[in-house]
Structure 1
Amino acid sequence: MTSNHKLPDKIEPFWRENLEIPTFPKLENDLEVDVVIVGGGITGLTAAYILLNEGLSVAILEANKLVNGTTGHTTAKITAQHDLIYDEFIQHFGKSKARLYYEANIEALNFIKQTVEEHQIQCDFKVQDAYLYSTTDEYAQKIKTEGEAYEKLGIDGGIVESIPFDFEVKNAIVMKDQAQFHPVKYLAQLTQIITEKGGLIFEDTVAVNVETGEKPTVLTRDGNRVTGGFVLSCSHFPFYEGLGMYSARMYADRSYVIAVKAKEKYPEGMYLSVDKPSRSLRSASYKEEELMIIGGEGHKTGQETDTLGEYTALENFSEQNFEVEEIVNRWSAQDLTTLDKIPYIGELTVDQSNILVATGFRKWGMTNSTVAALIFRDIILKRKNKYRDLYSPSRFYADPSLKKFLLMNADVVKHLIKGKLEMPQKNVDEIANGEGAVISINGHRKGVYKDEEGKVYIVDTTCTHVGCEVSWNCGEKSWDCPCHGSRFSYTGEVLEGPAEKPLQQYDFTLLDNFTSEDSGY
């Protein structure tokens, strides 16, 4: 099916549009506070807010701009319904741990709701029922099994036979009284409260390492030092792994979103298909109009050649099922998944108990980030927290962790070798304006991008993390690593970790003596 509506050229979530988001200076000096927080997304900001309320001093170091990473690219569902997980968790961890996971995320939802009410935050917070739906017999049975898990765990919800859309579904399962909101409006207000309470925030400040000890010190790229009783790693991928082996215990994948203006009024509720490819739906207010946020598709980072096709698939889905007037925005998000699908929240390693980490939210960061902030508070203040063991980064379950660990790292080795053996298929003359590709220059792999004016940017294609070969992402105009999910701009700058250093850049003069014959074709 050919769409009648053009995808926007700009890749930008609408959450940040038409909002005055506070800006903050770069760190220019050394500091000492009670708690150093690295990362200015929902995890870091929520943790800062909570710790300031407890009378602690905090400093937030953000490498880019606040709320501009995964938090700013979310679909912003606040729910404990994290796909088909509760039957799986019962099978792998037992009923009590599965129930704890549910309770932790409901507690996080209620924390957000109470914070919104206490400070009268205008962030389009709205209680909504959350639905998982199936379109095939295979997944209809999985929905029924999940319904049995809901009953065992006492979850408020159950099986329903239909949802209020025109497309056919086999069945669905509802979780009652969940919520949605505008994440940037929420966090912009939280940021104001943080600064009013004396919290320090620094943007464009890249944390690169930690000097461990009784009072750990965060080292920045520019040479400044921030010391605290605790360091909280709230960046998407941990900026400091220590001996935690996080890059070997998580994988990165990308998913895609479009914001659609349609003629139909959107019904109540938030929806997610359990079949593949997935489809996520929710409403949002935008310029006094209603939009549909439609998400889905997805693949491991760096392992899909036609990323623009992921947007086209969502576009076609919207055209087939709704009377679309306009596609307003498009964007994508990167998410990290742990070996057992439960995030890593707590002490970085057993021996580094004053460095805390939160990562691996598996697309469900609105609640799990808040869970993390609450666990951080209790660790720092030496309080009991019943969720601490469940989320502990040092846990390792033989089933399913061992199998996943072996499969994930075998996949890394496969892509490491494959990237070294693959021969580039294009030369410079064949690359159109606005396109990128891997080429061979004097027998060496190089990444080339031509902007819309024909200016050429050349980078080395070897990822600076462990040396895998990056591939071109045409949908995002970036270089993506298939091994651990690092991403780089077309100029080579780091967009996503675990890589810390940019790709090596080359001047255009590298091509002066390059001809098509040099490529070996």
Structure 2
Amino acid sequence: MNLKSGMPFWLIKDGLPYTFPKLGKDIETDVVIIGAGISGALVRYYLINAGIQCVMIDSRTIGLGSTSASTSLLQYEIDTPLHVLTEKIGKEKAERAYHLCDYAIDKLEEIAKKLKLKEFERKKSLWYAAYKKDVSLLEKEFQARKQAGFDVKLLDEKQIQEQFGFKAPLAILSAQAAQTNAYAFTHKLLQAKKGSKLDIYDRSPIVKINTKKNGAVLKTESGFTIKAKKVVYATGYEVVEFIDKKIVDLQSTYAVVSEQYNEKKFWKDEVLIWNTANPYLYMRTTPDGRVLVGGRDEEFHNPDKRNKLISKKTKQLTKDINTLFPYLDFKPEFSWTGTFGATKDGLPFIGIYDRMPNSYFALGFGGNGITFSLIAAEIITDLLLGKKNKDAAIFSFDRV
């Protein structure tokens, strides 16, 4: 599946910082991780730090799937508001899911510092009502988050105008958020190693997987085999090829990055901004003085139809941000589209799938893909070590 198209800013900026070989021999390992994007990279990082032998393999050059198209906003907010999620799965599980995403931001910062990744910045997050009809939704959500212990403030129209310079009837300002560069983060994670070998192979599509009670045998397009005791699927939206029941709806999102500004005269604190529209508009800044705006999602049909809309969506998103912040005079320089998945409850799928023995899944669907991937890495590491994880049930396949 072609997961992105256009010119993702991160790929243009960072290029190919490291290269990896194709698989050119038969190998054996304890764990094989399929998928070398940010999800697989985090799983691998946790596994090698836990002393678990693992091999990673990807069908593409490393990071050139959804990871290079990620806009890399890190928020504890899930696409499903907390008070709505509470109605779906109960207060305890809903609040725990939100707190896990909050924890994940802290943990990602800790890892970024260890890896000396420069592109990790603490931010606040502003979620504003796109329409007056959404005011009651924000009021309910504010109360739910307050009761759950989150550091949030409710801003009225006057406060939004005075502090952030645009008009909206109501907004929730959250103290906890961050932004990063998922593509650079992935490459940093993949440089962590145990011993002298990286054991990472790209451009090696897996064409057949035979899972049994005592392990699995994988065959590549070139005819080489990988024998493993366990398989971790970190293939993201391509998982539909492996799961035989409906768990995700595929959609396309669009993103545009501006030309570089001579002076950083952006909005207050350069907070992450998003709204209540469906699909929602979102925006952030970049360390080198640009503005990123995304949204205008479409239901996924096929890559060709998705890609033909890039020019139209670029114009629409440019108009969207110039309407909100006329003084920016936003001029697009890089634009792209990527495929993402949405689940009914906004939560990822993590852990085991009964119909596939010795298999584990790290599927961080939705707008919280990176924070979900951190959670998945911790849960899967526990499961592989034979430990119980109290949070695994929240994200299990059994909930469908």
Provide the TM-score with structure 1 as the length reference: 0.69
Question: What is the match of residue 131 of structure 2?
Answer: 136
Describe the superposition over 1:37-75 as per-residue Cα deviations: whole angstroms up to 9, x where unpaired: 000101111111111111122111111111111111111
Mapping 1:183-332, distance limit 5 Å: 183-194=182-193, 198-213=197-212, 214-239=214-239, 244-246=243-245, 248-261=246-259, 262=261, 265-266=265-266, 267-268=268-269, 269-286=271-288, 290-302=289-301, 307=309, 308-320=311-323, 321-322=325-326, 323-324=328-329, 326-332=331-337
SS at match of 1:229: strand
SS at match of 1:312: helix
CA apart distance, 1:264: 5.6
Question: What is the match of residue 181 of structure 1?
Answer: 180
Change (3 A) 1:240 1:382: farther
Report the Cα distance in structure 2 between the residues aligned to 1:240 and 1:256, rounded to whole angstroms: 22
| More deviation, 260-269/356-365 | 260-269
Question: What is the match of residue 154 of structure 1?
Answer: 149
Residue segments in structure 2 that go unaligned for 5+ positions in a row:
none
| More deviation, 194-203/294-303 | 194-203
Change (3 A) 1:330 1:383: same
CA apart distance, 1:271: 0.8
SS at match of 1:208: strand
| More deviation, 151-160/131-140 | 151-160
Change (3 A) 1:208 1:53: same
CA apart distance, 1:201: 0.7
- Opposite residue 58 of structure 1, the aligned amino acid is C
Report the Cα distance in structure 1 between the residues aligned to 2:220 and 2:368, rounded to whole angstroms: 29
- Opposite residue 270 of structure 1, the aligned amino acid is L
CA apart distance, 1:310: 1.9
CA apart distance, 1:299: 1.2
Question: What is the match of residue 357 of structure 1?
Answer: 361
Matching of residue 16 in structure 1 with residue 11 in structure 2? yes
Matching of residue 101 in structure 1 with residue 97 in structure 2? yes
- Check the 8 A contact 1:342/1:361 in 2, yes or no: yes
Report the Cα distance in structure 1 between the residues aligned to 2:318 and 2:330, rounded to whole angstroms: 12
Change (3 A) 1:388 1:210: same
Q: 2:42 aligns with which of 39, 42, 46?
A: 46
Report the Cα distance in structure 2 between the residues aligned to 1:277 and 1:250, rounded to whole angstroms: 17
Question: What is the match of residue 169 of structure 1?
Answer: 168
Question: What is the match of residue 394 of structure 1?
Answer: 398
Residue segments in structure 1 that go unaligned for 5+ positions in a row:
1-9, 397-521
Matching of residue 111 in structure 1 with residue 107 in structure 2? yes
Q: How many residues align?
A: 380
Change (3 A) 1:325 1:134: closer
- Opposite residue 115 of structure 2, the aligned amino acid is H
- Opposite residue 166 of structure 2, the aligned amino acid is F
SS at match of 1:341: coil
Mapping 1:374-393, distance limit 5 Å: 374-393=378-397
Question: What is the match of residue 70 of structure 1?
Answer: 66
Name which structure has the greater RCO, CA cutoff 8 Å, separation 6+.
Answer: 2
CA apart distance, 1:79: 1.4
SS at match of 2:257: strand
CA apart distance, 1:285: 1.8
Supply the RMSD in Å over aligned alpha carbons.
Answer: 2.1
Report the Cα distance in structure 1 between the residues aligned to 2:291 and 2:219, rounded to whole angstroms: 43
- Check the 8 A contact 1:215/1:230 in 2, yes or no: yes
Instruction: Find the structure with the greater CA-based Rg.
Output: 1
- Check the 8 A contact 1:258/1:329 in 2, yes or no: yes
Question: What is the match of residue 420 of structure 1?
Answer: none
Provide the TM-score with structure 2 as the length reference: 0.89
Describe the superposition over 1:69-92 as per-residue Cα deviations: whole angstroms up to 9, x where unpaired: 111111101111124520111111
Report the Cα distance in structure 2 between the residues aligned to 1:33 and 1:91, rounded to whole angstroms: 43
Question: What is the match of residue 450 of structure 1?
Answer: none
CA apart distance, 1:255: 0.8
The percentage of counterpart residues that share the same residue type is 22
Change (3 A) 1:139 1:230: same
Q: Which has the higher helix share?
A: 2
- Check the 8 A contact 2:28/2:226 in 1, yes or no: yes
CA apart distance, 1:276: 3.6
